Structure 1
Amino acid sequence: MTDYLSRQPFIKLLKNIIENQSKNNNGYSIAIDGDWGSGKTWILDALESQLSSDEYLIFHYNAWENDFYEEPLVALLSVMIEKLNEVAKQKSLYESVVTELLKEAASDLEILAVGIAKYFIKIDIDKSIKNKKNLFNRIKQGTKIANDIDSMLPLRKTLAEIREVIKNLAEKLKILLVVDELDRCLPEYAIKVLERLHHVCNKMPVFQIIAIDKSNLSDSICKVFGKNFSNPSSQHNVMQFADSYLQKFIDISVPLSNGKPNKSLEVMNGLEKTFCEWTRDNSAGAPINFNENFLEEFLAEMFSGIDRRLQEKIFSQVELCHKMTLATGVKPELCSYAILIYEIISCIASYVFRSKNLCTVTNGANGTFTLVFKDVEFSANPYAGKYKQLAENLRNFFCLKKSDYFMQDSELIEFPILDEKSYLMKLLVDVTKLYDDYSQKAYSRFIAEDKVFLLEYDKIMHTMLF
C-alpha cells in the first residue's frame, strides 16, 4: 500500500495505543476523527496489515456497506462469521487448538444469525456437517428459533451468547473490532450501530477503532434525539451534546488531519503519462525545467491539507476534459507538464470554487507578488469555504520576490520569465507584455500557442460544469 499522505506516523501512534490498551479486560475504544475523504479507510486497512494475525483477531465492520440489514447486529454477526471461517482455514493454524476454537465460535454465531435474521444469512449446511457431526441438529434448532424469534431467541439472549463467544476467543487472541464508514449511514442507523456495539463490547476484552467524521455525526446525533440547534451560533451546543453522548461509546478521540502528499506522481493514477517534460533556457542561460521533480513539488504543495477524495475527483475531471479537448482537433505543440499544471489549476477554479475566472497577480506589501484565484471569496459553491486551503496553497506556491522578477509601470504588472513559476504565471494570467529579448519572445510564442489549446480546454470545462 502506497502511503501517499505520509500517514505512517499516525499508524504508529494507533499501534502504540493498541499495544498499551489491548490487555484491558474491560475493553477500550478509540475514534479516528477526520473529514470525509481524509483517508480513514486507508489508515484502517494499513493498520490491519501491520498487525500480527497470530496475535490479533481483527473483525472489520463497514457500517455503510451493511446498512441494508435492518438490525445492525445481523451485519456484525455476518462479519464475525466470515472472518472466523477465513482465519480457521489458514494453514498455519490448521488442526490447532485455536482453529478448533474458531470453528466452534463460527458455528455458535451461525446459529444465532439464523435465529435473529430469519434465514437472512444463508448457511451451507452440507459443508458445516463435515466440520462438526452434530452441527445439523444445531442448525435445525436455529431454524426452529428463526420461526419464533421473539419468544425463543430474544435480542438480550443473543447478545449474551455473542459476548460469551467473544470471551472464549479472547482467551487465545487479542480481539480488535474495526468500524468504518459510520458517518455515511443514515442518522438513525448510525446511532443504532453505536448502541449495538456498546451492547456487545461494553466491559468486554475487545479493542474498538471507530472511524468517524465527528462534525457530521454530531448533526446526526442531534437530529435523532430531537435537539434543534438551527442557529449557526449554536454549533458549539451541537458538538457539546454530541461529545456527551459519544462518551458512552468512545474512550478517546484522535483527530486526523487531511495530510500532506508525499512527493510522488503516483497520486495522479497515471494522468501524468499523457504529458511530458519540457526544458528551455532563460535569458541568462539558466534552465527552466518542467520535469518530474517540479511537478512532484507542485502537487505536494498544492494539495497539502486537502482530502484524497477531492484530489481524485480533480484529477479525474482534468483527464476527461483534456481528452475532450484533444478530440476537438485543437492540439498544443507539446503537451508539457506546464499545460498539465494549468489544467489542474483551471479545474480547481471551475470545479471547486465554481468560478469561470482563473487567476490574477497581486502585489504584496512584503516585497513579493503572488498568484491568487479570482472570486474565491464570492464563490457560489457552498463547499468552497471548506477548501479555501487550496487557494492558500496556490498563493504560497506562487509567491515570488519583486526584486528578482518585478517592474511596475502605473497599474501594469510586468515581469520577465526567469524560471518555472514565472512562466506559469504568464500562462495563467492575462499578462502578455514581455521584455524585448530573444528568449522572452520565444516564450511568448510558446505561451500563445498553448493558450489556443487551453482556452478550448477552459471552454469545455465550463460547458461541463456551468
Structure 2
Amino acid sequence: MDDFDKMMSEIMAKKYAGESDQDLLEREGVIDEISKIIEDRLYSKLPLSLAITGIWGVGKSYVLKEIEKRYSGRCIVFHYDCWKNDYYDEPLIGILSAISGQLNQIEAKNPDEQQKHYYRVMREVVFQVSRGVIKNFTEYDIEAFRNRFADFRNLLKAKKQIDMASFDSLSNVSDVIEIVNNLLCGYMAYEGKKILFVVDELDRCLPDYAIRILNRLHHICYGSPVIQLVAVNDKELSRNINGLYHRDSDNVFARRYFNRFFTNYYRIPVGVSSSELVRQCWEDFDAYFANDSLYDCFGMLAEVVFKDCAIRERKKIIELLEIYHKCALGSVKEKYPIELACAELLELFRTFWHIDKNWTISNGNTRASAMFDNSGDIDYVPYTVTIFAIKQTDLKDNVKAITDFFLERYEKKHKGKRPYEFDELKINVFDRTIALLVNEKGTADGSSEIGRIVNVLKQDKVFKKCSDFLEIFRARISTYDE
C-alpha cells in the first residue's frame, strides 16, 4: 500500500467512524444524566419529547450516537438526520424513508424467519406509504395507490399485527400521519419495547423547513409513548421562529412555541475549557511557547476570544494557529514567549471572521474613572485594544469582550497605586501582547503608559524577535480564505 492509499484509507476510516466518536468534550456525565431522564419514561405510558440543546459544535451529535448505542437493545431505535433528508419538499417523506431504511437493517439482522417476515412487511408498508405521499402530492391517482396495499392486507390478515383499514382513506398528510402513528403503536406492542426516535441536525435546515419537521414529528408521535430526542441549537432556532412570526427578539414567545413540541429540556454545557481544548488539538503546544507567568495567560485569553464560538470553530482556529505558526517557523523548532501565541490568536480571530480592520490602542478612561481618582493633573491613559468600524453585530460583542478583558488586566495590575507609577519590571504578558499587536503605533504618545512600554520593549531583543515573527505570521494568514 503506497502513501496515497494509506491517506485515503485514513480519510475513509474517519468518514465512517466520525470525528464525534472521540469524546474530546468529556460528555460521559451528560450521557448519564440524559439516560436517567429516559429511564424515568422507559416503562411509563407517558411520552417523552426531550430537546437536547446547546450551541453548534458542543457535542450534541456525539451524545445522540452514544445514547443510541446504550438503548439499541432495550428500545427500537430510529435515527432521522434532518439535514441529509432536507431535499424532500415534504418532511414526512424523509421521516418515512428513514424508518423504512432502518427496518430493512433490522430485518437483515434478525435470524427468526417469522420476525423477518413481519419486518419485511412493515418496511414495505412504510415504503409504499412514503411513495404514496410523493405521488399524492403530484396528482397521482389515489385509487391506484390504495390498490397497492391489497397484497399486504392478505399477508397480515392472519397475524393481525397491524390494522390496515386506515389505508382505505389515505388522501392527505393528516391521514398518513394517523396511519404512521398507529403503525408505530402496533410495532411497540409487537416488540414489547418503546421506540426511541433520535432526531439530529435540525438546526442545519432552513428555518421554515425545521419548523415543519417539528410539526410532523409532533403529530406522528402524538398520544403514543414514543421517546423523542431532538438535538437543537435553541438560541438559533428561537431567532428563526421570531423572524418567521415577526416577533423581534421575543424569547417568551419562542419558548412557548417550543413547548408545543417538547416536554423536557436538557442543555449541554460547553464543557472542556479552551486551554484544555488547545492542548487536545495541538498536543505539543507547550513545546513551542514558554509561559513564565504564574497564570495560564493564553488559556485566559482563549476563553474570551472563543466566547459564543462553536466547538468546531474553536478547533478550526486552533488547527489554523498550529499550521500557520509552524509554517512561519519553518524547519527550525524554536520556543517563543507565550505573548506571541496570544497575539497570533487575536490576529487569527480577526482573519477567521474576515475583519479587514487592524487592532488599535483604545483609551479606557470611562471604565478606569471609577477606579482612579480623576482629580488634579494626573495624566493617565488606561489602555486596551479594539477594532473599530465592525458592522457585524455579533462580532462587535466579541471584540468588546476582548477589549474589556485587557482593560480588566490593566485595572488589576494598577490596583492600589497610581497609573503614573510606571515600573519596567511590572510589564506583564498582556502588556507585551498589546505592544506586539500595535508595535510602532504605541510610540505616538510617549507620555502614555503603553507608549512608554513599547519604547522599553523596542530595546528588548526577544520582543523584537517576536515582533518580526508576528509580521511573518500575518503575511501567511493574509492568504487565508475559508
Say whether the fold is shared (TM-score over 0.5).
yes
Number of the residue aligned with 2:203: 183
Q: Distance in 1 between matches of 2:406 and 2:107?
A: 55
The Cα of 1:39 is off from its aligned counterpart by 3.6
Aligned to 1:85: 104
Report the CA distance shift for 1:349/1:75 in structure 2 as closer, same or farther (over 3 A): same
Q: What does 1:178-327 correspond to in 2, within 5 Å?
A: 178-222=198-242, 224=244, 227-229=245-247, 234-236=248-250, 239-261=251-273, 264-265=276-277, 269-270=281-282, 273=284, 276-277=287-288, 288=292, 299=302, 303=306, 306-319=309-322, 321-322=324-325, 325=328
Q: Which amino acid aligns with 1:116?
A: V
The structure-2 alpha-carbon separation of the partners of 1:274 and 1:96, relative to structure 1 and needing over 3 Å to count, comes to farther
Change (3 A) 1:213 1:31: same
Partner of 2:359: 357
Displacement of 1:66 in angstroms is 1.0
Shift of 1:464: 5.0
Give per-residue Cα distances to partners, 1:384-408, cap 9 Å, x unaligned: 1453585279549957853799995
Give the superposition deviation at 1:349.
Answer: 4.0
Task: Tell me the percent identity.
Answer: 23
Shift of 1:305: 5.5
Deviations 1:145-192 (A, max 9, x none): xxxx99866434433332233113323222111222223322332222
Equivalent pair of 2:359/2:437 in contact (CA under 8 Å): no
Could you tell me how far apart the structure 2 residues matched to 1:195 and 1:219 are? 18
* Contact 2:52 2:229 (C-alpha < 8 Å) held by counterparts: yes
The equivalent residue for 1:55 is 74
Per the alignment, residue 87 of structure 2 pairs with: 68
The number of aligned residues is: 412
The alignment yields a C-alpha RMSD, in angstroms, of: 4.7
Q: Which moved more, 1:70-79 or 1:186-195?
A: 186-195
Q: How far apart in 1 are the matches of 2:426 and 2:100?
A: 65
Bigger Cα displacement from structure 2, 180-189 vs 253-262: 253-262
Find the partner of 2:413 among 392, 398, 402: 402
| Matching residue of 1:108 | 125
Q: Is the 8 A contact 1:101 1:169 kept in 2?
A: no
Shift of 1:107: 3.3
Q: 1:260 to 1:217 in 2, by over 3 A?
A: same
Q: Say if 2:386 is the partner of 1:374.
A: yes
Name structure 2 gaps, 5 residues minimum. 1-20, 138-148, 156-166, 373-380, 440-452
1:303–1:217: structure 2 CA closer, same or farther, 3 Å change rule? closer
In structure 2, C-alpha distance between the alignment counterparts of 1:405 and 1:2, rounded to whole Å? 47
More displaced 10-residue stretch of structure 1: 448-457 or 210-219: 210-219
1:29 maps onto 2:49 in alignment: yes
Q: Are 1:347 and 2:348 counterparts?
A: yes
Counterpart contact for 2:305–2:398, Cα < 8 Å: no
1:288 aligned partner, one-letter code: D
- Relative to the length of structure 2, the TM-score reads 0.67
Matches of 2:418 and 2:209, distance apart in 1: 62
1:371–1:398: 8 Å Cα contact kept in structure 2? no
Q: Distance in 2 between matches of 1:274 and 1:9?
A: 28
3-state SS of paired residue (1:446):
helix
Residue equivalent to 1:127: none
Distance 1:334 1:351 in 2: 25
- Cα 1:266–1:324, aligned 2, differ >3 Å: closer, same or farther? closer
Q: Gaps spanning 5+ residues in structure 1: where? A: 121-134, 142-148, 280-286
| Matching residue of 1:170 | 188
Say if 1:416 and 1:95 are closer, same or farther in 2 by CA, change over 3 A.
farther
For residues 332 and 397 of structure 1, the distance between their equivalents in structure 2, rounded to whole angstroms, comes to: 34
Q: What is the TM-score with the length of structure 1 in the denominator? A: 0.69
How far does the alpha carbon of each residue in 1:254-300 deviate from its partner, in whole angstroms, 9 at most, with x for none? 34444442753567634x55883455xxxxxxx93899x87667656
Query: How far did 1:425 drift?
Result: 6.0
Shift in CA distance, 445/361, structure 1 to aligned 2, threshold 3 Å: farther
SS at the partner of 2:249? helix
Q: 1:361–1:429: 8 Å Cα contact kept in structure 2? A: no
Structure 1 Cα separation of the partners of residues 205 and 33 of structure 2: 27
Pairwise CA distance, 1:203 = 0.6
- Alignment check: 8 A CA contact 1:41 1:180 kept: yes
Can you list the C-alpha shifts for 1:60-98, whole angstroms capped at 9, x where unaligned?
A: 2121221101121111112112223334444xx533886
Mapped contact 1:34–1:40 kept (Cα < 8 A) = yes
Is 1:158 aligned with 2:176? Answer: yes
